Amino acid sequence: MVPTLRWTGLMLLAGCSMTDPSPFAPSAAVAFTPPPAFELWWTATEQCSELRGSFDQVQWYVVPNVETFDGGAGTPVVGVWSAVDGAIRITVAGAYQNSELVIRHEMLHALLGQKGHPDMFFGDRCGLTWDRWQQG
Ligand SMILES: [Zn+2]
């Protein structure tokens, strides 16, 4: 049913933005303080996208001990980004809490401030999709 693991990943990322405007975060999500690496990833994502945003504005949540969670509409995802009433929240599955690709992918959503995956940003500029990432 699922052709390859890689395709599965692609599907999961593709679903990551489908939660706007709710749920704000899954009920199992817990807040965490971003490690120093996140700030470097944020800067790198700003540079490749040529967008600017405030790292401190982002609230980080993790759903512990899972590889995916329900991102809304029954779609299993590895991460979601949401912006509700001016608050930016990124929630990731525990298995991907230190994944540069997943974290920076959600960061790019936050910088863009919109749903969807415009290829100019996610593909050409930053390469923050599963297939582009693996091609290096
Ligand atoms: Zn996405």
Ligand 1 centroid from CA 110, angstroms = 10
In this predicted model, what pLDDT tens digit does every residue of 3-26 receive, in sequence order?
Answer: 333 334 444 454 454 444 445 567
Ligand 1 centroid from CA 1, angstroms = 23
Query: Bridge partners of 39?
Result: none
Domain boundaries, the chain: 5-128
Question: What pLDDT does residue 38 have?
Answer: 98
Place of tokens 């969807």: 116
Ligand 1 centroid from CA 16, angstroms = 5
In this predicted model, what pLDDT tens digit does every residue of 111-125 receive, in sequence order?
Answer: 998 778 999 999 999
Tell me which residue of 116, 68, 60 sits closest to 88, measured CA to CA: 60
In this predicted model, what pLDDT tens digit does every residue of 38-82 receive, in sequence order?
Answer: 999 999 999 999 999 999 999 999 999 999 998 877 788 999 998
Sheet holding 87-93: strands in order across?
30-31, 58-63, 87-93, 79-84
